[in-house]
Structure 1
């Protein structure tokens, strides 16, 4: 009898294991199928992209143009707009746009209304952004924070709020470009602050407007080789920040601190930055063409296997990691 009970117990345990495994496998297959479904008639849908002079925005516009979308590209400079028009087809149109300027945004909205007509705007990709200045928080002045927040935070919010009626008209999508540094605050300045804000704004917006059939997606790229991660401007800004410090603050860090800090930045950027920008633009494209887009897209191996897992760790783990990596000030405790 004991032997029979033992066999019965083992059989029941195996049944639970097989049942759970089958459920997980079925869930994965359904998710993959659902994730592969795409919308129809993309050639009738309009997408507005900001920050198209270079980098992710420029590449995305060319990618969407080849896909058949009616692309409306917001460029900061006339040169950027002209270069993009020469590299794309007749259905891509450009407009000069400064996301820090309310009048410029409103002009872009009026221009877009005329372009899309009754169809509305299927997608708004808030890609425009800046990273500098970055550095130790104590080195910053309030205008250093503002210069980044005006583009990355207030620019995203103002663009979205102004274009929202056109997006509601098409029951479309808002795609906001955040960053893995919107999950893990790894350095001072306005960049991490702004990207945390983009994450929060996107979550709030998604929950507020899903009743209207609008999807809000967040792109969280890791480190990629763009103008944002270019070493020359990063080092130039670090020197500017250092030069504006008082003699007392400089003395507290020590004469060699700046050189050590720059060396670490070079090491990190050279070791981590990925040159394949398509990993990011493919996520943006999926957010626009998928019938069931994801809420968040992590782009890059460093995002998937380092930054995102690190964001779920206790804060002390990140603190210790940064203490190991970053140089120690001369007058530290």
Structure 2
């Protein structure tokens, strides 16, 4: 009996020693990253380390022997790979192409990266527009404004030839596919096919063609591809069918490229912002014009079922959304710059409160409950329903 007890104690001490060695190796690796300032210690990092600490005790007690030790070792390795890195690369002599710099994220990002010291090629739709003129007036000599409609193969090819000639053999460090359009918010049935096609043409096919054209220069520099998607591309949001579908396609394209381009040393990141006040909503005149076109293309049955008052209500939604969206774009700019500079960038960045909260709701709650919450979030205080629904309720 005493011999068996002694053997058990020896095994406990032996495995305690092995657990201590595994913990020391993991701790030493973390300490090394901290000393080199390559580890970002934030709430997420603290949560991962806390789970690992709890997991060590669980493995030791619930899975005695080599099985528990193996599981704990694998958990240490996965945690080490998951912890966010803060190691940032120097910006000197790194060139970035950004599309959609007429306004919003693109224009703000061009200025932001220019001040950081990057060589910036800012593609704009309107070379003589106010956004382009602002960049020309306020940018440094490192910032070049280029005519670049991402739906024009000819303009994409000309931009590629110019940048390749200027960079010579250095390659292009980064491409930020930011150009995007929303067109109109309305029920999927109400949106015209032209809106669906236009969103795909700009938000998806434009980004794909720009990416394909510039990949040889990215490969030369072993650089970065950063695609600006949207929270609407990862979860279903009412009235954003055309826009959300195009951004979902962009996100999937980006994820596939991340796997395929890894062997070339090119890193791919997706940025999915929550709602921010940018130029993507367009002007009031644009909204009114889109509304008229939508009404004109509706069949008599659909127009009767929904009713004019319901369709008009989307102009009110537009105004309310614009008023509530935050104007501070710095969270988005910071995440994009980190994706371009980090030695080991994350695959997905989600700046903005909605970009974090809404996926948690949709991915973790029962569908009936998440649909109810999303509807309340978007339709709160709306009070307008289609005429056909009113007739059914009465």
TM-score by length of 2: 0.73
3-state SS of 2:269 partner: strand
User: Is the CA contact (8 Å cut-off) linking 2:232 and 2:240 kept in structure 1?
Assistant: no
Is 1:37 aligned to 2:87, yes or no? yes
* Superposition deviation, residue 242 in structure 1: 2.2
Write the deviation string for residues 3-55 of structure 1: whole angstroms up to 9, x where unpaired: xxxxxxxxxxxxx99932789999989966x5211113x11111111111111
Q: Which residue of 2 aligns with 1:4?
A: none
Q: Which residue of 2 aligns with 1:92?
A: 143
Residue segments in structure 2 that go unaligned for 5+ positions in a row:
1-49, 57-71
Distance 1:304 1:25 in 2: 26
Match of 1:194 among 246, 260, 285: 246
Distance 2:282 2:188 in 1: 20
Distance 1:268 1:83 in 2: 26
Is 1:170 aligned to 2:221, yes or no? yes
Distance 2:275 2:52 in 1: 40
* Superposition deviation, residue 239 in structure 1: 4.0
Answer with 173-182 or 294-303: which moved more. 294-303
3-state SS of 2:92 partner: helix
3-state SS of 1:291 partner: coil
Q: Which residue of 2 aligns with 1:210?
A: 262
Match of 1:129 among 177, 180, 189: 180
Pair 1:239–1:285, CA change in 2 (3 A): same
Is 1:20 aligned to 2:54, yes or no? yes
Distance 2:369 2:304 in 1: 29
Q: Which residue of 2 aligns with 1:3?
A: none
Distance 2:82 2:371 in 1: 36
Distance 2:188 2:81 in 1: 46
Q: Which residue of 2 aligns with 1:157?
A: 208
Answer with 76-85 or 166-175: which moved more. 76-85
Write the deviation string for residues 129-161 of structure 1: whole angstroms up to 9, x where unpaired: 111133222223322211111100000100001
User: Is the CA contact (8 Å cut-off) linking 1:183 and 1:311 kept in structure 2?
Assistant: no
Q: Which residue of 2 aligns with 1:107?
A: 158
Distance 2:139 2:244 in 1: 33
* Superposition deviation, residue 60 in structure 1: 0.6
Pair 1:20–1:128, CA change in 2 (3 A): same
Pair 1:17–1:191, CA change in 2 (3 A): closer
Q: Which has the larger radius of gyration?
A: 2
Q: How many residues align?
A: 315
Distance 1:48 1:268 in 2: 30
Is 1:263 aligned to 2:297, yes or no? no
Distance 2:261 2:327 in 1: 36
Q: CA RMSD in A?
A: 2.8
Residue segments in structure 1 that go unaligned for 5+ positions in a row:
1-15
Q: Which aligned runs of 4 or more in structure 1 are off by greater than 6 angstroms?
A: 21-32
TM-score by length of 1: 0.85
Q: Which residue of 2 aligns with 1:10?
A: none
